[in-house]
Amino acid sequence: MTDDTLESVLTEQRLFEVPDQFAKQARISGMDQYFEMMKHAVEDYEGFWAEQARAEISWEIPFSEILDESNPPFYKWFSDGRLNVSYNCIDRHIEAGNGQRNAILWEGEPGDQRSLTYNELLDEVARLGNALKAYGVGKGDRVVIYMPMVPEAVAAMQACARIGAIHSVVFGGFSAEALKDRIEDATAKVVISADGGLRSGKTIPLKANVDQALEEGCDSVEHVVVLQRAENAIDWTEGRDVWFRDIMARESGDCPPEPVEAEHPLFILYTSGSTGKPKGVVHSSAGYLLGAAATMKWVFDIRPESDVFWCTADVGWITGHTYIAYGPTAVGATQVMYEGGPMYPEPDRLWAVAERTRTTVFYTAPTAIRALMKQGEEWPAKHDLSALRLLGSVGEPINPEAWMWYYRVIGGERCPIVDTWWQTETGAHMIAPLPGATALKPGSCTHPLPGIMADVVDEAGNSIDRAEDKGGLLIIRRPWPSMLRNVWGNEQRFIKTYWSYFPDQYLYLAGDSASRDADGYFWILGRMDDVINVSGHRMGTMEIESALVSHEKVAEAAVVGRPDEVKGNAIHAFVILKGSRGDQDLDHLRDDLRGHVAEKIGPIAKPDDIRFADGLPKTRSGKIMRRLLRAIASGEEITQDISTLEDESVIRQLQGKD
């Protein structure tokens, strides 16, 4: 956190009251109702959540146990209940007479369109579920999904849920090598992919990446299911590869949902941390579903019969899991899904889609808002956005300037903005406004949701007094239903990362620092660890460092985030070469290193800047001085005491002066 951030937080005075029109029809209208719910949760925590779980989930076998805290931090929720997530997301809406309602209004990047009703979604999911079973995938087996943003990706996730298989979606922007690591960690039996994905006029070679990953390992994989999407020439391995549409045509559309225990893992999603390889965050079936469904109602105020919801995230991230694949379907809503680049072919693409589909609730990331803001108001002005009634933001702090633009230009000063703080690990929104109740302050995610015991604490875990809040650690005091359950195959890492910071107390450590103002509003100040947020994507600096160091010419590397107007953070790398710098063509090497990182992780991890030096600034005890590197990367004046440095001339090199 910089002093500037804290300063702006503490001086933000603007308050946006709930518009009367909105409050009148909202599910939660007024702070009294919020306080009432919070009071219920404080007085009877388990009773509160049990009530929600009965209301939101259709159970095959009702639960009697609520929260099991006997073996912390391995908490269990509703553990003697049984359910099927895909039944909850599809069949029950059909049984209620809503099978003809559109589940997905899809638009491809080239402009092709497809809509699927809940009946049609069920047919796809059931056929695919049967196909997976025919390939020997059963309850608890893992399936990796590496697909573009097409309805079949949602169908694939739901098909796994239907048969009790555990999916692990890998973002299509990750490289063959990153894909391989994830397939191997999850020991997946089947990979579902496509011939290619379309993004900003380019074709992403998904199938070629799968081939490469499988060539180098991944022995657990028996079949690769390939959707034809990009009309892209691909290699074919007879016996292993099968066309998506071929198996769909031969399978039956009748696939009974398999009831599973509440705690049965629904999916694994890999996310970056401060150390080592990405970790597989494991989510449960019932608790996760509850978080997704409840927040669709509380935070997005969703009315399935009239709203058109659109979350612009990719299904490869948690936002696409909770607010595309599971949340909108859990409540039986209609949602928009768009395949391609937000500026393609022109900067009004999102607004054109919103106009055509009459989108009412729109959810995106600050980085997208800032990029669109740069293009000018004339682009949204070309479109009728009058159907919009609510806007959302996720993934990183939204700066007040972007907030105001979003509010004024996109929302026509009539739509509340819900700034939602949450994480891959939390499964669903944790701190966010209730749009019919909460007065908004630009840049603040406002208050914890009902039943979420979020707090800002000092190093000892004590709440920081609001009046003198200068920022502290963001934690959650009590286990909540949609929380992660484990790190796949690595219990120790689960305990160490999230539950070991405060000795003798199980407080969930979010990894963000936060502050609370005198009105009790939460302000997220940024990550406290070596994770950076690049265009709303969470990246581990260590991961990028290891990718750099795996290059034959690199001896050592340090990566830090540097503030960037559009991306939030840009990736700045300091590189020490083997041998002398003078002997190298540094411009050429820079390109080479960027390409190398793209190959190891994916294009999203490419450093924006690379500077070469003879050494890195280290303390006498040998620790890299990251704070100093951050200051250098952002061109700040060096105020730190560098007299302890082994070699002060290194600083000039890192600043690009020598």
Alpha carbon of 79 to those of 52, 381, 481: distances in Å? 15, 51, 11
Indicate the residue among 81 and 450 with the shorter CB distance to ligand WTA: 450
Interface positions, 381-440, toward ligand WTA (CB under 6 A): 394-397, 419-424
> In the complex, what is the shortest distance from the CB of residue 334 to ligand WTA, in angstroms, rounded to a whole number?
23
| β-bridge pairing 223-227 and 76-77 | unpaired
d(CA 251, CA 129): 9
> Any contact of residue 304 with ligand WTA (CB under 6 A)?
no
> In the complex, what is the shortest distance from the CB of residue 637 to ligand WTA, in angstroms, rounded to a whole number?
26
Interface positions, 443-482, toward ligand WTA (CB under 6 A): 445
Amino acid at 374: K
Near ligand WTA by CB under 6 A, which window of 30-38, 181-189, 314-322, 636-644?
A: 314-322
Indicate the residue among 48 and 422 with the shorter CB distance to ligand WTA: 422
What number of other Cβ atoms are within 10 A of residue 61's Cβ? 12
Indicate the residue among 508 and 612 with the shorter CB distance to ligand WTA: 508
Q: Taking the chain, what is the end-to-end CA distance rounded to the nearest angstrom?
A: 29
d(CA 653, CA 14): 44
> In the complex, what is the shortest distance from the CB of residue 587 to ligand WTA, in angstroms, rounded to a whole number?
33
Report yes or no: 567 and 535 within 8 Å, Cβ to Cβ.
yes
Would you state the torsion angle of the CA atoms of residues 646, 652, 655, 658, taken in this order, to the nearest 10 degrees?
A: -130
Peptide linkage before 345 cis (omega within 30 of 0): yes
Report yes or no: 183 and 208 within 8 Å, Cβ to Cβ.
no
> Any contact of residue 318 with ligand WTA (CB under 6 A)?
yes
> In the complex, what is the shortest distance from the CB of residue 402 to ligand WTA, in angstroms, rounded to a whole number?
12
Residue from 277, 179, 178 nearest 487 by CA: 277
Indicate the residue among 334 and 424 with the shorter CB distance to ligand WTA: 424
> Any contact of residue 512 with ligand WTA (CB under 6 A)?
yes
The residue sitting closest to ligand WTA, measured at its beta carbon, is: 424
Say how many CA atoms lie within 13 Å of 91 toward its Cβ. 22
Tokens of 548: 């750099």
Indicate the residue among 135 and 501 with the shorter CB distance to ligand WTA: 501
Amino acid at 641: D
Binding mask 211-230 for ligand WTA (x = CB under 6 A): --------------------
Who's near 528: CB < 8 A, 6+ residues apart?
Answer: 473, 511, 512, 513
Q: Look up tokens 């849920």; give the residue.
A: 161
Q: Look up tokens 């559309």; give the residue.
A: 253
> In the complex, what is the shortest distance from the CB of residue 498 to ligand WTA, in angstroms, rounded to a whole number?
12
Indicate the residue among 314 and 419 with the shorter CB distance to ligand WTA: 419
β-bridge partners, 193: 226
Indicate the residue among 49 and 523 with the shorter CB distance to ligand WTA: 523
Interface positions, 536-565, toward ligand WTA (CB under 6 A): 538
Indicate the residue among 271 and 284 with the shorter CB distance to ligand WTA: 271
Residue from 441, 467, 468 nearest 12 by CA: 441
> In the complex, what is the shortest distance from the CB of residue 394 to ligand WTA, in angstroms, rounded to a whole number?
5
Near ligand WTA by CB under 6 A, which window of 20-28, 317-325, 574-582, 606-614?
A: 317-325
Indicate the residue among 209 and 322 with the shorter CB distance to ligand WTA: 322
> Any contact of residue 271 with ligand WTA (CB under 6 A)?
yes
d(CA 16, CA 23): 13
> In the complex, what is the shortest distance from the CB of residue 585 to ligand WTA, in angstroms, rounded to a whole number?
37
Near ligand WTA by CB under 6 A, which window of 40-48, 68-76, 433-441, 509-517?
A: 509-517
Which of 151, 511, 561, 602 is the binder for ligand WTA (CB under 6 A)? 511
> Any contact of residue 319 with ligand WTA (CB under 6 A)?
yes
Which of 524, 559, 631, 651 is the binder for ligand WTA (CB under 6 A)? 524
> In the complex, what is the shortest distance from the CB of residue 426 to ligand WTA, in angstroms, rounded to a whole number?
8
β-bridge partners, 268: 282
Which of 329, 357, 533, 535 is the binder for ligand WTA (CB under 6 A)? 533
Indicate the residue among 351 and 422 with the shorter CB distance to ligand WTA: 422
Q: Considering CB under 6 A, how many residues would be counted as binding ligand WTA?
A: 22
Alpha carbon of 43 to those of 39, 46, 55, 70, 506: distances in Å? 6, 9, 19, 21, 20
> In the complex, what is the shortest distance from the CB of residue 382 to ligand WTA, in angstroms, rounded to a whole number?
29
Alpha carbon of 414 to those of 18, 20, 339, 403: distances in Å? 9, 10, 28, 13
> In the complex, what is the shortest distance from the CB of residue 512 to ligand WTA, in angstroms, rounded to a whole number?
5
DSSP state of 326: I
> In the complex, what is the shortest distance from the CB of residue 525 to ligand WTA, in angstroms, rounded to a whole number?
9
Near ligand WTA by CB under 6 A, which window of 91-99, 120-128, 312-320, 379-387?
A: 312-320
β-bridge partners, 225: 192, 242
d(CA 167, CA 170): 10
Indicate the residue among 334 and 393 with the shorter CB distance to ligand WTA: 393
> In the complex, what is the shortest distance from the CB of residue 299 to ligand WTA, in angstroms, rounded to a whole number?
11
Indicate the residue among 78 and 362 with the shorter CB distance to ligand WTA: 362
Residue 443 C-alpha from the chain's centroid: 19
Near ligand WTA by CB under 6 A, which window of 311-319, 384-392, 558-566, 627-635?
A: 311-319
> In the complex, what is the shortest distance from the CB of residue 423 to ligand WTA, in angstroms, rounded to a whole number?
4
DSSP state of 17: P
> In the complex, what is the shortest distance from the CB of residue 536 to ligand WTA, in angstroms, rounded to a whole number?
7
> In the complex, what is the shortest distance from the CB of residue 153 to ligand WTA, in angstroms, rounded to a whole number?
18
Residue 9 C-alpha from the chain's centroid: 25
Who's near 156: CB < 8 A, 6+ residues apart?
Answer: 128, 143, 145, 147, 167, 192
Report yes or no: 515 and 9 within 8 Å, Cβ to Cβ.
yes
Q: Look up tokens 């936002």; give the residue.
A: 319
Instruction: Give me the residues that bind ligand WTA (CB under 6 A), please.
Output: 271, 317-319, 394-397, 419-424, 445, 510-512, 524, 527, 533, 538
